[in-house]
Amino acid sequence: MEVNKLFKNERLTKILEILQQKRTVSTGDLQESLFVSASTLRRDLLELETMGKIARKFGRVELVKPENVELSYLFREQEHEAEKRKIADTASVFLGDNHAIFVDSSSTASFMANYLTPLRNIIVITNGLRLAVTLDSATNVKTFVTGGRLRTGSGSIVGDAAMDFINSFRADLAIISCVGVTGEGVYMSSETQGSMKRQMMAHADQTILLCDHSKFGVKSYYRLGGIDQLNAIVTDQAPSKTLSRAWQQAGADVLF
């Protein structure tokens, strides 16, 4: 049952990724892209429509308010969970005692919690409610949570108040994720989330990007920054030689 659910989550994510790139697509093209039956696609589209993510019109599918498309936190946490845990384990080499660390509200970054709690004298500044709750019992971690507006279902706090809060801190490290990364840059599907991550990067000595292989080569409308603004990219499997070369030439270490 868990496996089937994961497969479905992957399909739903793929549908949204296709729509973010094309904005509108026929159901026939979607069926071919996903290699699924018409009945399976119909059920997937119905679920996305119920979530308010898409609209179906005369055999075509389009995004609803594409600039605000964001999957729920639970949905994102379950998607590629094993890969995200592997990424967190690999990224733990950057953590150390006496560090101040920005951690964004992404599900990938939240898996870092298990590696933060054993450390001594750690300060975590986050706009992610789930991470903050997880760290609640860690007596050696001082956790700061931004103020601001809570994005419904995402566990993420955004807005001017959250940005101002981030501006009050300096950190040794910023740990962030994204919806896509190419040889030229890092992308988000939400300017409000992207702005928060950009502020964290600006106020940190180093920035580590966490992304699983499904993000390779994916673009969205909000460009978070260039690869040259990253110190390292941590992923779950080797990228293509072309991507790896571009990342390294821009100055980012690649770990997997």
Domain ranges of the chain: 2-68, 74-255
Tell which wins on pLDDT, 138 or 23: 138
| Whether the Cβ atoms of residue 233 and residue 253 lie closer than 8 Å to each other | yes
CA-closest candidate to residue 19, choices 154, 221, 211 = 221
**CATH number listed for the domain at residues 2-68:** 1.10.10.10
DSSP, collapsed to helix, strand or coil, labels residue 101 as strand
Average pLDDT over the chain, rounded to an integer: 88
pLDDT, residue 66, reads 44
Which pLDDT band holds residue 64 (cuts at 50, 70, 90)? Answer: confident
pLDDT reading at 22 higher than 80: no
pLDDT, residue 4, reads 39
pLDDT reading at 65 higher than 60: no
What fold, for 74-255? Rossmann fold (3.40.50)
| Whether the Cβ atoms of residue 190 and residue 68 lie closer than 8 Å to each other | yes
pLDDT reading at 248 higher than 90: yes
Whole-angstrom distance, CA of residue 100 vs CA of residue 78: 28
By mean pLDDT, which of 82-91, 136-145, 153-162, 166-175 is the weakest? 153-162
Verdict on whether the full-model pTM lies above 0.75: no
